[in-house]
Amino acid sequence: MSTTIFLYGTLRHVPLLEAVLGRAVDGLELAMARLDDHRPHHVRGRPFPVLTAAPGQGAEGLLVRGLDAGDVARLRFYEGEEDYELREVAVRDGGGRQHRAEAFFARAGRWQAGGPWSLEDWLRDWAEVSVMVAEEAMAHFGRLASAEVALLAPAMERRAAAVLAARARTSTAPARDVEMLARRRPYSRFFALDETDLRFRRFDGAMSPVQTRAALIAGEAAAVLPYDPRQDRVLLVQQFRAPLFMAGDPDPWLWEPVAGYVDAGESPDATARREAEEEAGLTLDVLDPAGGAYSSAGNSTEFVHLFIGIADFTTRAGGGGLDTEGEDIRSRSLPAAELFEALDRGRLRDMPLVALALWLGRHHERLRAAGSATG
């Protein structure tokens, strides 16, 4: 027995629908339709919509016929059993004929609706990320509950956005052949771990033997070193770092610049400002870009955007990180000269901090003069 579902939101995008179903839609019947007296609205703070009652208005959507039980199970998993439920509706096709179907409605009290939702805006800003997230999320179908996957969604979105950013980077190097024979993802949580079998074109022109390589798949990050030019002081934060502990380092509490991962749909500049407030209680006046680089190209996809953040340290309030993320952060300010001395003596153990200390040393007089002039 087949099921007919009316899709009014992101699943109207056929590549996303195919990613969720795990197959092409060739065997399904698709038609445009309209649900009267309803309209899709943004879920506040998220890119997807909920369907709300709107007398006199209508929700445009896609009527999908021929879905089997497996298709419906995958759709329920993707939408989230705890988030949405299927309800029967009557929709009209382009010729005005009525059809019985089911549609996903948000469960009572689950989401807070914002302004009207636009498919065109979503296609421009979120479609590519969402398809990649769906492919990763649906790999958990049958292995994890939908609620568990929902907790992983922000990390999956960050990874997808980072892949798109990497693809968009320009290169002046000549194109070289890489042949990927297989790719596997044995682990996917806050980070993902991918393993691939590949060959690449060597500098002598020959193809390399097949090699198996692994990479930690991470999002993009922003690191900012707060600097108060009036006092000529910098601010560092310290927190426990489990990887250092796992490596056997006797001091896993690391002094670092303010840093955090760039959320999907967020600019690195916005991340730097947000993290400065969350971790150090600082509002940054000016961001001075200090470049960007892959943090460990031999094993990780993480790309770090670097900034010097001009700020008035006398206005600090709050900070310490977010309890919801299990952060326990303390901070201290110190003279810039003390940072440079620690750099020269090899006492800085965080690579973004080393890079930012070097940048600040190179541009110290310029930034100090500019900040003092505006102070």
Q: Is residue 343 a contact partner of residue 252, using CB atoms and an 8 Å limit?
A: no
Q: Is-catalytic flag, 325?
A: yes
Residue 275 is labelled as binding a ligand:
yes
**Quick one: 204 and 309 in the same domain?**
no
pLDDT of residue 158: 94
**Quick one: 207 and 307 in the same domain?**
no
* CATH classification at residue 113: 3.10.490.10
- Going by C-beta distance under 8 Å and a sequence separation of 6 or more, which residues neighbour residue 349? 254, 255
pLDDT of residue 177: 87
Domain carrying residue 59: 3-119
Q: Assess if residue 168 is contained within a domain.
A: no
pLDDT of residue 169: 87
Strand order in the sheet with 192-200: 178-188, 192-200, 211-217
pLDDT of residue 81: 86
Residue 327 is labelled as binding a ligand:
yes
**Quick one: 292 and 208 in the same domain?**
no
Q: What is the pLDDT of residues 218-252, one digit of tens each?
A: 999 999 999 999 999 999 999 999 999 999 999 99
Q: Assess if residue 162 is contained within a domain.
A: no
**Quick one: 31 and 57 in the same domain?**
yes
Q: How confident is the model at residue 284 (pLDDT cuts 50, 70, 90)?
A: very high
Q: Assess if residue 144 is contained within a domain.
A: no
Of the candidates 70, 103, 119, which is a domain's last residue?
A: 119
pLDDT of residue 174: 67
pTM: 0.88
Catalytic option among 29, 325, 341, 365: 325
Q: What is the pLDDT of residues 107-116, one digit of tens each?
A: 988 888 888 9
**Quick one: 185 and 274 in the same domain?**
no
**Mean of pLDDT over the chain:** 92
Q: Assess if residue 164 is contained within a domain.
A: no
Residue 338 is labelled as binding a ligand:
no
**Quick one: 190 and 259 in the same domain?**
no
> What angle do helix axes 69-79 and 146-168 make, rounded to 10 degrees?
80
Residue 279 is labelled as binding a ligand:
yes
Q: What is the pLDDT of residues 31-83, one digit of tens each?
A: 999 999 999 999 988 899 999 999 999 999 999 999 999 999 999 999 998 89
Q: Assess if residue 325 is contained within a domain.
A: yes
Burial of 212 (0-12, 13-18, 19+ CB in 10 A): exposed
Q: How confident is the model at residue 374 (pLDDT cuts 50, 70, 90)?
A: low
Q: Assess if residue 134 is contained within a domain.
A: no
Residue 302: pLDDT over 90: yes
Instruction: Calculate ∠ Cα 34-36-37, nearest 5°.
Output: 145
Q: Is residue 218 a contact partner of residue 302, using CB atoms and an 8 Å limit?
A: yes
Q: What is the mean pLDDT of residues 257-285?
A: 95
Residue 375: pLDDT over 60: no
Q: What is the mean pLDDT of residues 206-217?
A: 95
Domain count, the chain: 3
**Quick one: 264 and 296 in the same domain?**
yes
**Quick one: 273 and 369 in the same domain?**
yes
**Quick one: 252 and 365 in the same domain?**
yes
pLDDT of residue 94: 84
Q: How far apart are the first and last CA of the chain?
A: 73
Q: Assess if residue 248 is contained within a domain.
A: yes
pLDDT of residue 350: 96
**Quick one: 225 and 366 in the same domain?**
yes
Looking at the chain, the whole-number percentage of residues with pLDDT higher than 70 is 96
**Quick one: 252 and 349 in the same domain?**
yes
Sign of CA dihedral 323, 327, 328, 331: negative
Of the candidates 95, 119, 143, which is a domain's last residue?
A: 119
* CATH classification at residue 247: 3.90.79.10
CB atoms within 10 A of CB 344: 11
Q: Assess if residue 201 is contained within a domain.
A: yes
Q: What is the pLDDT of residues 311-366, one digit of tens each?
A: 999 988 776 776 666 678 999 999 999 999 999 999 999 999 999 999 999 999 99
Q: How confident is the model at residue 5 (pLDDT cuts 50, 70, 90)?
A: very high
pLDDT of residue 172: 72
pLDDT of residue 323: 66
Residue 103: pLDDT over 70: yes
Residue 168: pLDDT over 70: yes
**Quick one: 196 and 319 in the same domain?**
no
Residue 277: pLDDT over 80: yes
Of the candidates 104, 119, 134, which is a domain's last residue?
A: 119
Q: What is the mean pLDDT of residues 161-190?
A: 87
